[in-house]
Amino acid sequence: MVRRLFRENQPASSDRILYPGAGTGPFAAAVERVCDAEGWEYPDGYAVETDPEHVEEARVRDLSHVDFYRQNYLDDDMLDAGWFEYIIGNPPYVPIEGLSEEEKKRYKSAFRTAVGRFDLYLLFFERSLELLSPGGVLSFVTPEKFEYVDTAEPLRRLLTAEDTHVKEIEHIDEDAFTGLVTFPCITTVQRTDTVEARETRVTLRDGTTHVAILPDDGSSWASNIRDANIEEMQTGATLEDVTERISPGVATGADDVFTMNREDVPDGIEDTWIRPTASGSQLREFDGPYTDSVFVCPYRDDGTLADVDALGRFAEWLEEHRNRLEGRSCVDKGKTWYAWHENPPMQDLLQPKIVFRDIAKEPKFWPENSGDVVPKHSVYYTVPKDSVPMDALLNYLNSPEAKMWMEAHCQKAHNGYYRLQSQVLRELPVPKEWADSFQATL
């Protein structure tokens, strides 16, 4: 990043460089290393960090070109620091939930980018654009989401304003930040005074590069940036074509009766009637579909409802809940008193499948390889067709391309969460090789 920052503009001691959210000073140290290696003068450094321990640690590193200040980069007094020829950093990725009410209010009134469910790195971009001198260059590593999410519309406008040029965007490996589920990118921006060709050099994770012209009206950059990938995605095949079904889990109409912890299953109920289950919140809590919850389930493996005589001790136990079960609307409409609201499609449910939450902050998909979990209604599941490799489909659904498509197409709930409805997911384009094997199957 440092080399990229200086690529076309070598630093001089009269230049100023800013390190927002400087941490313990890794970028400042890299600047000294690069300048030493190239025989360049050090620019004059100004580092800003709120964490006192980081500031302390950075100061003892004795980086001669830079002063470390304990300061909030988003406070107004930052604007008194003057202009900078270079700005480089890894801004904090703090979603709105991590902020106090007071901070949210303050930021909303001070930043154009603080709209909806904003994230601090958007504000770091805006503040940096305010501090970048004419001709100055900025390089940030951030999540790539600002390229296409609705919340980043104001930032996209700022980045494509007349005097601002996004020179380069490089998508870097997902594991560049251990432990963080984020698709990172490095963005290089220059403040220009000439209205030149607005070309952005884009490097994707597969190493391919192309030149994009980004729209300047705040609309998503997705198709401009992912040009190649998206074209490749137009195979004519969709998720619906390569899966047996995409459905919500079962609705019993009385989960309070039919679900419990495994250890609470009454003695004497045979294992045949016990099915592991998971709810949407458990998928997140257990990071997958394997939990300690079960359904006591009166349906056989073929999906038929067992006769009460066949249920043994389970029938006695159901009898204890008869009033509650008879009170359900499905019984009014003619269902057997211990039947579920909907007949569970057991033959599809009892297969290796992919499970996901119906409403999620970010789309995420888990494997259910054992094929015995019967998901609750708040979990969706999809069963790949025989010709489609489960692992590959799972990787694809969790890929940045698929995620981008979902974030662009799925409805949003009031809290900004995505609704991963089956009718939308059915339309998700899938890669060419499955389209081909799908055609071959046809």
Ligand X SMILES: C[S@@+](CC[C@H](N)C(=O)[O-])C[C@H]1O[C@@H](n2cnc3c(N)ncnc32)[C@H](O)[C@@H]1O
**Contacts with ligand X, residue ranges (CB under 6 A):** 21-23, 26-27, 48-51, 54, 72-74, 89-90, 92
> Measured from the CB of residue 126, what is the shortest distance to ligand X in angstroms?
12
Give bridge partners of residue 317 from the DSSP assignment.
none
Query: Mapping DSSP to helix (H, G, I), strand (E, B) and coil, where does residue 248 land?
Result: strand
**Residue 125 burial (CB < 10 Å; 0-12/13-18/19+)?**
buried
Q: Which token pair is 166?
A: 């996004």
Return the CA Rg of the chain: 27
Query: Mapping DSSP to helix (H, G, I), strand (E, B) and coil, where does residue 397 land?
Result: helix
> Measured from the CB of residue 60, what is the shortest distance to ligand X in angstroms?
16
Query: Mapping DSSP to helix (H, G, I), strand (E, B) and coil, where does residue 392 land?
Result: helix
What's the distance, Cα to Cα, between the start and end of the chain in Å?
A: 49
146: nearest Cα among 162, 129, 132, 158: 158
Can you give the three-state secondary structure of 383-433, one letter per residue?
EECCCCCHHHHHHHHCCHHHHHHHHHHCEECCCCCEECCHHHHCCCECCHH
Give bridge partners of residue 70 from the DSSP assignment.
49
156: nearest Cα among 196, 193, 187: 187
Q: Which token pair is 184?
A: 């990172």
Choice between 25 and 384, CB closer to ligand X = 25
Q: Side chain identity at 181, as an amino acid letter?
A: V
Query: Do residues 239 and 382 make contact, with C-beta atoms less than 8 angstroms apart?
Result: yes
Q: Which token pair is 76?
A: 């107004």
Choice between 28 and 383, CB closer to ligand X = 28
> Measured from the CB of residue 231, what is the shortest distance to ligand X in angstroms?
34
Choice between 29 and 274, CB closer to ligand X = 29
Choice between 53 and 206, CB closer to ligand X = 53
Query: Mapping DSSP to helix (H, G, I), strand (E, B) and coil, where does residue 7 land?
Result: coil
Choice between 49 and 368, CB closer to ligand X = 49
**Rounded-to-integer distance, Cα 334 and Cα 355, Å:** 31
Q: Which residues lie closer than 8 Å to 193 by C-beta, 6 or more apart? A: 134, 135, 163
**Rounded-to-integer distance, Cα 190 and Cα 167, Å:** 7
> Measured from the CB of residue 120, what is the shortest distance to ligand X in angstroms?
6
Choice between 16 and 54, CB closer to ligand X = 54
Choice between 54 and 145, CB closer to ligand X = 54
> Measured from the CB of residue 346, what is the shortest distance to ligand X in angstroms?
48
Choice between 58 and 222, CB closer to ligand X = 58
Choice between 121 and 295, CB closer to ligand X = 121
353: nearest Cα among 372, 331, 336: 372
Choice between 26 and 218, CB closer to ligand X = 26
> Measured from the CB of residue 103, what is the shortest distance to ligand X in angstroms?
9
Query: Do residues 22 and 49 make contact, with C-beta atoms less than 8 angstroms apart?
Result: yes
> Measured from the CB of residue 141, what is the shortest distance to ligand X in angstroms?
8
> Measured from the CB of residue 72, what is the shortest distance to ligand X in angstroms?
4
> Measured from the CB of residue 116, what is the shortest distance to ligand X in angstroms?
19
> Measured from the CB of residue 437, what is the shortest distance to ligand X in angstroms?
42
